[in-house]
Copies of this chain bind each other. A is one copy, B any other.
């Protein structure tokens, strides 16, 4: 009863009454579109202030058809790569008056995508997605502007924020080769599977370029999870010494962590018993001793760029180039041991 009154929000109508003008005048002042005499503007602003009026974004969206909201979809929130991308995107959106809805596809069944589109189609103006691994989402059903961060779909004609995945693993593999390694394992990755496939390709390309035959036993394919890494590394370590790899490339942060876990459990360390180089920098790679050689990506910037491109599309100024390739770089640390014995001799450090 009384309570009802209390929670009753002040509307544009209340402001109009208080200011002694029409609601359209209030609207005009608030949106600063048409000309309004200075005097009435002052009256309105005063009323707004006194009443503590706040626009009802819902009602605005109803009539304008815009929600000023974008939906961000990520595989899960506990992966620091996703966290960084979200951070960058959220900052950009916030700074440009947009609000962010968020949705995680963890434990998602493919069927669920349909519901996702239904559920959010009216709630957001556009969608920014970090694909999972595997990357099987059918984006075609989403009819509004869409930007993919860290996906590889050259045929799909989507707006994407990428880095050169193939080059990344190529550099990692090359780094190992240049340090004298020839028995190099690959941990994780699925051939022909989106970005993951590109990373496998980079490994193979480096091996080929340096004329090193690929040993299938040294490839431990799998999706980009920690488990793939720990199992892959365990498998390598159980090989007879003659065929055991002296180094390994992990395809992403989680597989790298899995490798390090497997090593730690055996009292071993990357750069001692086996060398390691991985895609994506992370806490453990950075601060463990020895540190792990990695490909670093501008994760926060990728999120920011994704948001920027999305808003550009919404403003009707879509960039001509659909694929935006960002820079990545190799960070050398001590997980790569120099093997002077056999193989290539030129040290690169």
Interface residues of A (CB under 8 A from B): 7, 9, 54-59, 61-62, 67, 69, 76-80, 82-84, 86-87, 90-91, 94, 99-104, 106, 118-123, 143, 257, 260-261, 264, 267, 269, 282-284, 286-289, 291, 300
Contact = CB atoms under 8 A, between A and B. Distances in A.
A4 to B, nearest CB: 11
Given A86-B77, A104-B91, A260-B287, A58 B56 contact: no
Residue among A67, A69, A264 with the highest chain B CB neighbour number at 10 A:
A264
B103 A90 contact: yes
Contacts of A104: 87, 90-91, 94
Given A54-B121, A58-B61, 4 more contacts: A78-B87, A91-B104, A283-B284, A288-B289
Q: How many copies of the polypeptide does the oligomer hold?
A: 2
Contact of A101 (B78, B80, B100, B143): B100
13 contacts: A62-B62, A76-B87, A77-B90, A78-B83, A82-B83, A90-B102, A90-B103, A91-B104, A94-B103, A99-B120, A101-B101, A102-B102, A264-B291
A249 B149 CA distance: 39
A130 to B, nearest CB: 12
A269 B289 contact: yes
A155 to B, nearest CB: 24
A113 to B, nearest CB: 14
Contacts of A77: 77, 83-84, 86-87, 90
Contacts of A119: 54, 57, 99
B83 A122 contact: no
A106 B303 CA distance: 16
Contacts of A79: 83
Residue among A7, A59, A99 with the highest chain B CB neighbour number at 10 A:
A99
Nearest to A107: B91
B9 A122 contact: yes
A54 B122 contact: yes
